[in-house]
Amino acid sequence: MSTEAPLLLALDLTGTFLFALNGAFTAVRHAKLDIVGVISLGMITALGGGILRDILIDDLPPATFRDWRYLVVAAGGGLAAFFAGKHLDKVAWLITVLDAAGLSLFAVTGATKSLAFGLGAGQAVILGAVTGVGGGTLRDVLLRQVPTVLHSELYAVPALVGAAVAVVATSAHVYGAPAALGAAVSCFLVRMAGVRFQLNAPAPPGGKAGGR
Amino acid sequence: MSTEAPLLLALDLTGTFLFALNGAFTAVRHAKLDIVGVISLGMITALGGGILRDILIDDLPPATFRDWRYLVVAAGGGLAAFFAGKHLDKVAWLITVLDAAGLSLFAVTGATKSLAFGLGAGQAVILGAVTGVGGGTLRDVLLRQVPTVLHSELYAVPALVGAAVAVVATSAHVYGAPAALGAAVSCFLVRMAGVRFQLNAPAPPGGKAGGR
Amino acid sequence: MSTEAPLLLALDLTGTFLFALNGAFTAVRHAKLDIVGVISLGMITALGGGILRDILIDDLPPATFRDWRYLVVAAGGGLAAFFAGKHLDKVAWLITVLDAAGLSLFAVTGATKSLAFGLGAGQAVILGAVTGVGGGTLRDVLLRQVPTVLHSELYAVPALVGAAVAVVATSAHVYGAPAALGAAVSCFLVRMAGVRFQLNAPAPPGGKAGGR
């Protein structure tokens, strides 16, 4: 862990900032909440996935509440999005890109941390995906939307891919900055391809996906 | 515990499979989600109640993430429901029966495990009910429905009955396969009677139950 | 802790009763649930914030499930609200007052307990607010409403104020019954001022707060 921990922390804080921006942007655009609502929703989006992961791997209190940098970075991202509010109509695509980047970083850090806490490989892949999609799912539930992960163009799949690459690299003892970034980039590319080409996972036989 | 553990595990895995079928069936019928959404929702329905219980009794990481069979059984149930999708119009009643069976098994295993972890009798009854209704409640929240447990024909009541029978049997030192099955059957019968005769718990004085 | 614990318990149980009344009142008025739904929602409102706090500070099983008084007080509050159902049209304001009082007590007890478990000052303030708003947020999600904390007249702000006063008092070694009550009263007054004068936290530049 000693050489991996700073890397994990840097990726985790970057993902936290991106998700805070994303969550707060969503709050400003969709629900016209006040400053407390916007920052709260930014922080929940940013911190929710990691908190779920830490509860499930029994690393309590969650890293979020032991290391003040998480709270500061998440609040800063929410505040930045709040004041950028009126310029947001031009950057709807930015929300999607930030979300994909946060998803990628969290899938990798979530899987890596789960392995470090002794979870199995399959479990680490799932917990990586949970870390990636958890915060956004809480955001969607609080805003009364069916969570993106349940219906969108490839959302959980890229998270599972990124987490799986990280788990394989760790098992092959080649985990480090290049492997972690490679895992994150693989998740990011799959997610952006899904958005660009409106790919969806297969719908049930006889059914139709994407309905609301 | 040594003689009870295999029984607990068998009942828990059976309940997991039934709830995964149920959650994925619901996803296919109500929301037309893609394969990832259907399996995710099946797994959340199947595993959510047990995860809530394990967090609350401090058995972390949850059994779900320590024993790979839970994940495999839950994913298998979701997959089976996904491919059976187009035949589902004929079997709406099956969703209700699977749900009642899963509820019964989880209420009993939840109460028994809570006792084994040192919780009091009343707490074990409530945690048994939480185990039974937890996964379905998460499913309903994610699909933006008011949870069944809050408004339906007798739903929490049979779970509390089944959990209470299990707690009494354990306290009387007669707990074993017959007692566990008896507790589960008592829950199942109360639940199915509630569905069959559209029984509801009493509404508030001057009010009216079942409204939205 | 030895001199503080009884105070903490008394404030916590009072807040539990008030929130149970509030949650059950809301259930009776808004959703016309049956007795099980009303009492369940009362108990979730009353116990949810404290359970979230205890998970996050790693005090598991939660105090709620170790001390039977929490369950009894919460169920009693829900039952009282259920039978008072038909008289509730006259007392809409009472729901708001009970809510503000529960919020105040929980913000203080949440912050104080978090400090006692070794969390930092900033973290304790946030966890105090989470304790205060958590149960009501669960209530709103289950009833499919956008949580009060995200859009209402000053709701999270008074909780943060009350928690901050409690943290400062503890750090200055003057924490005791007068300081705890002072912290709770400061939260209560800010909240009621927000309701009375329909104060809101600032909306995003170019946006408009309070929309749905």
Q: In the prediction, which pLDDT does A86 show?
A: 66
**Shortest Cα distance, chain A CAs vs residue B98, angstroms:** 20
pLDDT range class, residue C89, cuts 50, 70, 90: low
Task: Give C-chain residues touching A37 at CB under 8 angstroms.
Answer: 149-151, 201, 209
Count other C-beta atoms under 10 Å from residue A202's C-beta: 12
Residue A198 has pLDDT above 50, yes or no: yes
CB of B89 less than 8 A from some CB of A: no
Nearest to B34 among A57, A141, A200 (CB): A200
**Lookup: tokens for C28:** 């009776």
Q: How many residues does chain C have?
A: 212
- Minimal Cβ distance to C146: which of A51, A86, A143: A143
- Contact yes or no for C202 and A38 at CB 8 A: no
Mean pLDDT of the A150-177 span: 87
Where along chain A do its domains lie? 5-196
Q: Which residues numbered 121-140 in A keep a CB inside 8 Å of some CB on B?
A: 122-123, 126-127, 137
Chain A residues in contact with C60 by the CB 8 A cut-off are 60
Residue range C6-37, pLDDT digits in tens: 888 888 899 999 999 989 988 887 766 888 88
CB-based contact A24:C150 (threshold 8 Å): no
Highest mean pLDDT, choosing among A2-6, A140-144, B150-154, C57-61: C57-61
Q: Does B41 contact chain A (CB < 8 Å)?
A: yes
pLDDT at residue C149 in the model: 82
Closest residue, chain A, to B59 (C-alpha): A58
Task: Search chain C and give the residue with CA nearest B210.
Answer: C33
pLDDT at A182 over 70: yes
Q: Which chains touch B (3 or more CB pairs under 8 A)?
A: A, C
Angle at the Cα of B10 (from B67 to B190), degrees rounded to 5?
125
Q: How far is CA C108 from CA B140, C121, C155, in A?
A: 33, 13, 15
Q: How many CB atoms lie within 10 A of CB A48?
A: 23
Which is nearest to A107 in space by CA: A163, A33, A48? Answer: A163
Q: Tell me, what amino acid is at B202? A: P
Q: Which residues in chain C have their CB less than 8 angstroms from residue B144's CB?
A: 144
Query: Which range, B133-147, C18-32, C74-88, is most confident?
Result: B133-147
CB contact under 8 A, A40 and C137: no
The rounded distance, in Å, linking the Cα atoms of B60 and A124 is 15
User: Phi/psi at A68 (nearest 5 deg)?
Assistant: -60, -20
Evaluate whether ipTM surpasses 0.90.
no
Lookup result for tokens 């391809």:
A193
Whether C86 contacts chain A with CB within 8 A: no
Dihedral (Cα; A176, A182, A187, A188), 10-degree rounding: 120
The mean pLDDT value for B203-212 works out to 51
